[in-house]
Structure 1
Amino acid sequence: MKKPFSPPREVHVQVTHSMPPQKIEIFKAMEDWAENNLLVHLKPVEKCWQPQDFLPDPASDGFYDQVKELRERAREIPDDYFVVLVGDMITEEALPTYQTMLNTLDGVRDETGASPTSWAIWTRAWTAEENRHGDLLNKYLYLSGRVDMKQIEKTIQYLIGSGMDPRTENNPYLGFIYTSFQERATFISHGNTARLAREHGDLKLAQICGTIASDEKRHETAYTKIVEKLFEIDPDGTVLAFADMMRKKISMPAHLMYDGRDDNLFDHFSAVAQRLGVYTARDYADILEHLVGRWKVENLTVYQQKGRKLKTTSVDCLQESED
C-alpha cells in the first residue's frame, strides 16, 4: 500500500555528493565568470512580462465579456490538447522542487537563502522568472472552464510532495547537464503547444505558450553556457558527467506525477504528448544530438584513459537513442 506523501513509484538508489570535494574550487573560481556570462540572461523585473498581460483584467468593466470570449475560444480546442496543457502546467507549478534541486548542488547552492554569490542570485532569479509560467497557465485553465481544477490542484500538491529523482547526486556537473537538457525540452514542448493552439484558432493561447517557450529558450542558453565553460576548464570531468547522465537517461521533472488514483499518470500524459507531437522520443534524441554538437563532444581532446573511453560512450548513447 502506498504510504502518505511517498512517490507513486520507487525512486532509484540515492547517491549523494559524487563530485570530488576539491572540484568545488572550480565553481568558486567561476564566480566572476557567472556574474558576467550567466546573470546577463536574466531580465529586469520591470522589463518582464507578467501573467496579467495575457489574461482578462478583473478590474475592467469588460472583464466578464473577456472571460466569455476566452471560454468560447477554449471550447473549440480538443480534450487531448488540454491533457497536455494541464500536464505542462502541473510541471511548471512544481517549481519549488526545481529550486530545491538546484540548491542541492555542491559549490553553487544558496547557502543562506539570500546569498550574494552569482550562483545563488541566478537560482533565485531564474526561479522568479519561471514562477510566472505556472501562474499564467493555471489562471488560463481556471478561466477556460474546460478542466477539473480541484483535481489539478491535488495533483500539484502530490507532485511537490513527492519531489523528483533527477539522479544528479549533489553534483553540479550532472545538475547543469540535466537543466540544459530540460530547458530545451520545455522550450520544445511549449513551442508545440503554441503551434497546436494556433492550428485550433486560439491565437491568444498560442501567444501564451509561445511566450513561455521564449523564456525557456533563454534559460537553456544560460545553462548550456555553464556546461560549455566546464568542458573548457575540465574536459575530462565534464565528459564523464555527460556520459553518466546519458547512460542513466534524463528523467522528466514531473515523472512522479500522481493524482491520488493513477500511479501511471505521467506515462499516460506522456503518451498523449507523444501522440500529438508535443514532446516525443524523437525530440529526446534530437536534444541529445543538439547538445553533443553544441558542446563539441565529438571533437574533445581528453587525456585520461577513462575519460577517453567515456567520451566515446557519450556519442554511443546518442546513437542508441536514435535506434
Structure 2
Amino acid sequence: MASMLNPLINTFHPGAADPISLKCFMAANSPIICQLKMRNVRKQLGLARVAATVQKTEYMAAERAEMFRSMENWVENNVLTLLKPVEKSWQPQDFLPDPSLDEGMFFDRVKEMREMACELPDDYLVILAGAMITEDALPSYQMGMNNLHAINDVTCCSSSPWARWLRGWSAEENRHGDLLNKYLYLSGRVNMKQIEKTIQYLIGSGLVLNFNDDTHRGVIYTSFQERATSISHGNAARLAKQHGDKNLAQICGIIAADEKRHETAYIKIVDKLFEIDPDYTMLAFSDMMKKKISMPGLLMYDGCMDNLFSHYSTVAQRLKIYTINDYADVLEFLIRRWNVEMLGGLSCEAREAQDYVCNLAPKIRKLEERAQATAKKAPAIPFSWIFHRQVKL
C-alpha cells in the first residue's frame, strides 16, 4: 500500500495539490475507493510530517550540542574562573561553634548562639527552615542539570569545562544547606525530625523542571533562580539582623554572596548565547517565562501538610523575603542585562517572543496587589517544622 500511495503523496502534498490531477484521480475511482485511498494519503502525509519534524528536531539538537562544545574554551576562561578554590572558600564550620574546643567553651558558644536565636519569630523560622530544605535537596538539582545535552556527563567525572563547572557549582552550593541545617539544629528552635523528613520526601519526589534537556532553557532558569535566591537570602539576612541574631545575619549574607557569584556565571553564559544564537535564545527565554520559573522546592512535603510549598511561599511573600514584585524585578533586570529590548535581526517568531517578554513584568506586578488583598484574609495554620505552632499565612 505504501508504494501505491507514494506517488499520490507527491501529487497531493499540502498547499501544492494539482486540481487537474485530483479530478483525474477522482474520476478514475469509485467514491468509496477514493475515500479509502485519500484517508490513507492523509495518514501517510501525517506520518511524513511527524518524521520530518523529528528529523529536524534531532538535527537542531545535534547542531546546538556542537555549538555548546565549541564554547568549551570560552567556559574555561570566563565561567570556571568564577569558582573559588576549595582552600580559599568559606566552610560551614567557620560560622558555627567549634566542637574541638573543650566542653565548657563549646557549650558556652552554643549557649550564645541559642540566646541570639531565641528572639527569632515563628514565621521567620518557617522561612529559614524552608530555605534550608530547598538547599539540602541539592542532589536533584545536580542530576537535572547533568542531563542537559551540553553537559551530558554520563560518567559523572567528565573533564569537559561544562561538567567541571556543574560539579564545582554544586560543591559550593552544598555548603549552604549544610550550614543552615547545623545552625537550625543547634538553635533548638525547630523540629529537626520533621525537617529531615521533608528533605527526604523532597529528594525522593524529584524536581519539576520546565526545560527538559534543553541547555538554553536550563541556563536561563538558573540565571533567574540564582538571582532570586540571592535576593531571598539577602532579605533573610536583613531580618535576622533586625531580630538581633548577628551570627545568622552573617550566615545568610555569605550564602547570598555565593548565589550572586553563581548568578553572574549563568548570566554570562546566556549573554554568550544571545550573541551566537539570538533567535533560539529569545524563544527559550519567552518559553521559560510562559511556563513560569518554578522554585526548586515545589514538591515539598512533610508527611502531614498538603500544599506545603504554597503555604511556605505565602509566608515568604508576607515577610517580604521573596515576593511577586521580586519576581518581576528579576525579570526586568535580566531584560536589561541581556539587552533584550534592543535585539535586532530576529525572526518573526523571535520578535513575538521578544514583545511578550518585554511586556510581561507590569502584568506580573498586578498580581502583587491581589496577593496583598488575599493576605489580609489569610488564616493561621500549624507548621510541623516548628512543632505545629500556628503561623499566619
So what's the TM-score if we normalise by structure 2? 0.77
2:228 & 2:197 partners in 1: Cα distance?
A: 25
Q: Relative to 1, partners in 2 of residues 1:189 and 1:213: Cα closer, same or farther, differing over 3 Å?
A: same
**Is structure 2 residue 68 aligned with structure 1 residue 27?**
yes
1:259 & 1:125 partners in 2: Cα distance?
A: 30
Could you tell me which runs of 5 or more consecutive residues in structure 2 were left unpaired when the two chains were aligned: 1-56, 367-393
1:259 & 1:18 partners in 2: Cα distance?
A: 44
**Is structure 2 residue 207 aligned with structure 1 residue 158?**
no
1:215 & 1:71 partners in 2: Cα distance?
A: 25
**Is structure 2 residue 360 aligned with structure 1 residue 317?**
yes
1:320 & 1:270 partners in 2: Cα distance?
A: 20
How many residue pairs end up in the alignment? 308
1:19 & 1:170 partners in 2: Cα distance?
A: 13
* Counterpart residue number, 1:59: 100
Within the candidate set 299, 318, 322, 1:256 is matched to 299
* Deviation readout 1:157-205 (Å, 9 max, x if unpaired): 0000111112102000000000000000110010011000100111111
**Is structure 2 residue 273 aligned with structure 1 residue 230?**
yes
1:92 & 1:302 partners in 2: Cα distance?
A: 40
Q: Identity over aligned residues, as a percent?
A: 63
Q: CA deviation at 1:124?
A: 0.5
1:120 & 1:178 partners in 2: Cα distance?
A: 18
* Counterpart residue number, 1:98: 141
Could you tell me which runs of 5 or more consecutive residues in structure 1 were left unpaired when the two chains were aligned: 1-15
Greater C-alpha Rg:
2
Matches within 5 A, 1:201-216: 201-216=244-259
1:73 & 1:197 partners in 2: Cα distance?
A: 10
**Is structure 2 residue 159 aligned with structure 1 residue 116?**
yes
**Is structure 2 residue 50 aligned with structure 1 residue 50?**
no
Q: Relative to 1, partners in 2 of residues 1:303 and 1:278: Cα closer, same or farther, differing over 3 Å?
A: closer
2:226 & 2:333 partners in 1: Cα distance?
A: 13
Give, as a single letter, the amino acid of the residue that structure 2 aligns with 1:25. E
Q: In the alignment, is the contact (CA less than 8 A) between 1:292 and 1:315 conserved in 2?
A: yes
So what's the TM-score if we normalise by structure 1? 0.93
**Is structure 2 residue 111 aligned with structure 1 residue 68?**
yes
Q: In the alignment, is the contact (CA less than 8 A) between 1:187 and 1:217 conserved in 2?
A: yes
**Is structure 2 residue 195 aligned with structure 1 residue 149?**
no
Q: Relative to 1, partners in 2 of residues 1:248 and 1:19: Cα closer, same or farther, differing over 3 Å?
A: farther
* Counterpart residue number, 1:37: 78
Give, as a single letter, the amino acid of the residue that structure 2 aligns with 1:95. L
Give, as a single letter, the amino acid of the residue that structure 2 aligns with 1:155. T
* Counterpart residue number, 2:126: 83
* Counterpart residue number, 1:6: none
Specify which structure has the bigger relative contact order, considering alpha-carbon pairs within 8 angstroms and separated by 6 or more residues: 1
- CA RMSD of superposed structures (Å): 1.4
**Is structure 2 residue 188 aligned with structure 1 residue 130?**
no
